[in-house]
Amino acid sequence: MNRYQRNITIALIIATFLAAIEVTVISTAMPVITRDLGGLDLISWVFAIYLLTYAVMTPIFGKLADLFGRKKIFITGASLFLLGSVLCGLSQSMEQLILFRAVQGVGAGALMPMTFTIVGDVFPYKQRAKAQAIIGSIWGVAGIFGPLVGGFFVDFFTWHWIFFINVPFGLLAMYLIWKYLEEKIEKRKRYIDFGGAITFMIGTGALLYALLSMENEQPLQAEMMYGLFAIAFLFLGTFIVIQLKVKEPMVPFHLFKNRHLLIASISGLLLGSILIGLTAYLPLWVQGVLLLAATSSGLTLIPMSLGWPLGSFICGRYLVDIGSKPISLTGVILIAMGTISLTFITSSTPNVLLIVIMFFVGLGFGLSMTVFTVIVQSSVDWNNRGAAASSNAFLRTLGQTLGIAFLGMILNQHIGGHTNNGTNVAPHILAGGLHSVFIIMAMVASLCVMLVFIFLPKEQPENDEQPT
């Protein structure tokens, strides 16, 4: 790694860490925030609105990066993210916090896809896996230190500082990208797909809002829910028609003729649903079935945060020698074995066994997600790399949204009518519902294994074309 690559990598590590730690930091601080601001019934939307705006804006900014360059979009995303952070820290009500979290999500919708895209631009194929391993490991670090950092600021300062602390680090990342990132952008007339952007925002926004509301404690009325799905169907259908006709489509569907890109994207969607299921429901098993403390549930997830960066580094070390298919297949097999193992656990299963399972699941995610990211970076040329990376990131987010909605629906069908005053559920009832959730995740993981084994090409993807 030369000096130029090192400076860019530092900037991308900072940006990734800020976006990754934001979720875990705010999780720790939410009890104090709701005590100060009220609005306990709105707590889910503090997380949901960030996911919603992030998902909707990701493909839009990805295409704009292909048109106007990575540097401008990265700076724009970082600026919006920091603006949202400052406003969140200044919030005086839960409604304000939710609104400003939406601004943060818009910024993250530009920031995170640009990280993947810039890695593909700056590093040749043989180095991408190693660079991606370094950046990917930051998610594991954030998962471990996020709660500690959040607790430190809450205990020794105020919860406002979990947002304000983003500013100096974000400014440093912006400075490094602005000063060091070199781009050669082709000078030509730009066509912006306004029709595609508007229909996509409305359609996707309606779809994700409806899905996220299915998990709300006060779900939308059936008529409104049907209306949202109808709006989503109408506008997303219009979006597809527009994409097939315009000169510069926001999401170039022709890219998915590339089997590498298609399989990596579908796998990302499936793995996203598994990841959110494990994160949301394994702690519920530890606390609600094993009747252990909340600290124990956190410790159960930490091994996944340790296995993930280890898998990323193994991938970075051996990807060129072994190939993308064997490593990605090994990763998804480990995930499938882990989720299948969860279908056999009982209330007498020791928590230490869950910790071991989650370590190997994290190892599988580190291997597979790193490979899929490199595949997306290497399957298209420079002019389409932003759109490809952002579409892949969107599908992962969509997988999480669909996963949490569907798995939540499965769980609610089992525990509905068995709650005590709408809160507590008997451990054996909860265990039955969670077993169904684990079975669904195991089926999805097994489907992902078959998908990679049968359809992912054996040859290495490589497209290092740069604009002239």
Q: What is 15-70 written as a DSSP string?
A: HHHHHHHHHHHHHHHHHHHHHHH--GGGHHHHHHHHHHHHHHHHHHHHHHHHHH-H
Instruction: Note whether 266 and 385 are same-domain residues.
Output: yes
Is 314 contained in some domain?
Answer: yes
**Do residues 131 and 5 lie in contact, with contact meaning Cβ atoms separated by under 8 Å?**
yes
Instruction: Note whether 325 and 239 are same-domain residues.
Output: no
- Spatial separation of the C-alpha atoms in residues 282 and 278, rounded to whole Å: 5
**Do residues 414 and 282 lie in contact, with contact meaning Cβ atoms separated by under 8 Å?**
no
Measuring CA to CA, how many Å separate 169 from each of 3, 5, 16, 19, 438?
20, 19, 11, 11, 39
What is the b/e burial string over 435-455, where b = at least 16 CB atoms within 10 angstroms of the residue's CB?
A: bebbebbbebbbebbebbeee
Task: Give residues with Cβ within 8 angstroms of 315, minimum separation 6.
Answer: 129, 132, 133, 327, 331, 366, 367, 370, 371
One pLDDT digit (tens) per residue for the chain, 468 residues = 778 888 888 888 888 787 777 766 776 676 678 778 876 666 667 777 787 788 778 888 887 887 778 888 889 999 999 999 999 999 988 889 989 998 998 898 888 778 878 887 788 877 777 787 777 777 667 766 666 666 677 777 788 888 888 888 889 888 888 888 877 766 556 666 778 878 888 887 788 778 766 655 445 577 788 888 999 999 999 988 988 888 777 777 877 888 999 999 999 999 988 988 887 788 778 878 888 775 666 677 778 878 888 898 898 888 888 889 999 999 999 999 999 999 999 988 988 999 999 999 999 999 999 899 888 878 877 667 777 777 787 788 778 878 877 887 788 777 765 655 444 678 888 898 899 999 999 999 999 999 999 999 988 776 655 443
Instruction: Note whether 243 and 260 are same-domain residues.
Output: no
Instruction: Note whether 239 and 309 are same-domain residues.
Output: no
Give which of 463, 285, 257 is closest to 375, Cα–Cα: 463
Instruction: Note whether 284 and 414 are same-domain residues.
Output: yes
Count, residues in the chain: 468
Give which of 337, 377, 378 is closest to 358, Cα–Cα: 337
Instruction: Note whether 241 and 146 are same-domain residues.
Output: no
- Spatial separation of the C-alpha atoms in residues 3 and 420, rounded to whole Å: 61
Is pTM, for the whole model, over 0.85? Answer: no
Is 468 contained in some domain?
Answer: no
Which residue, of 144, 171, 186, is where some domain finishes?
Answer: 186
> Which residue range is the domain that position 64 belongs to?
1-186
Is 123 contained in some domain?
Answer: yes
Coil vs helix vs strand at 420: strand
Instruction: Note whether 8 and 49 are same-domain residues.
Output: yes
- Spatial separation of the C-alpha atoms in residues 177 and 12, rounded to whole Å: 8
Q: Which two tokens stand for residue 41?
A: 């019934």
**Do residues 383 and 186 lie in contact, with contact meaning Cβ atoms separated by under 8 Å?**
yes
